[in-house]
Amino acid sequence: MNIFRADLAQLIKENDFDGIKALIISKIPLVCGVIAIIALGIVIANLISKLVVKGLQLKGVDPSIHGFIKTIVKFAVEVIFILSALSTLGIDVNSFVAALAAGGLTAGLGLQHSVSQFASGLQILINHPFRAGDFIDIGSVSGTVREIKIMYTVLITLDNRKVIVPNSHITDCNIINFNAEENRRMDLHYSISYSEDIGKAREAVSAAAGKCEKVLDNPKPRIEVISHAESSIELIALVWCRSTDYWDAFFSMQENVKREFDSRGITIPFNQLDVHIDK
């Protein structure tokens, strides 16, 4: 390219219009080749970006980032072909690449926090530790996932508060996903008096579980003595339900057990205070 400019400048200086015309005509094949390279790059970029999206779909990656990743891949491939075309023209692209890299490094340092959020968002969307609709606990907050964005995740708490959590915070914490498995076990604790019959109390809790539509028959509920407290025998009921039915089953069991205890005359101990009046 430098030689072309030098020859063109010399011909213009000499007013050699025939030479200028011949020089330009001689470069037409090269220009056509450059245009062909760029056009080919656009076609290949579109093809590769579509293949990448299909790969993401097969892996079940969240659709919300398909367009973003497609744009990034397409841009990267097009830049490669444009640099190749410029190199064909004899243009030194090394300085351009160096400037691009330096600019990227500077931007990366300045946007370090945002880059961290972005990387964490990609990690969540690709690895799927949870999905929209799952109830999760990340230590500082728990709630139902409403949206997963590239920079943050939106949770709705049990009391209907909207919490926006940075994705980098989520990936740095232990994530408990209560909906990851189809079924979930409830560990329910009940107290009976020392004077009560354990077998009778076990039958009452078992009957309560049998009357709860949300409690599963398989695995079978298990009711056992878990401890001898100061003023009561502590029972634990291990019952299973579908993850989506957890709270319905929980509340139903609490009510059913109380009704069964009442109907069978089983005493639930409670703290008492004796007051003595000294005359």
Q: Where are the domains of the chain?
A: 2-110, 129-177, 183-264
pLDDT at 25: 67
pLDDT at 140: 82
pLDDT at 258: 95
- Within 10 angstroms of residue 130's Cβ, the number of other Cβ atoms is 21
pLDDT at 18: 59
pLDDT at 85: 74
pLDDT at 208: 95
pLDDT at 227: 93
The verdict on pTM exceeding 0.85 is no
Cα distance between residue 122 and residue 167, in whole Å: 9
Fold of 183-264: Alpha-Beta Plaits (3.30.70)
Phi, psi torsion values for 241, nearest 5 degrees? -150, 170
- Decide: 141 and 163 in contact? Cβ < 8 Å: yes
Fold of 2-110: Helix Hairpins (1.10.287)
* Residue spans of the chain under pLDDT 50: 2-4, 8, 111
Fold of 129-177: SH3 type barrels. (2.30.30)
Q: Note the Cα 152 to chain centre separation in Å.
A: 9
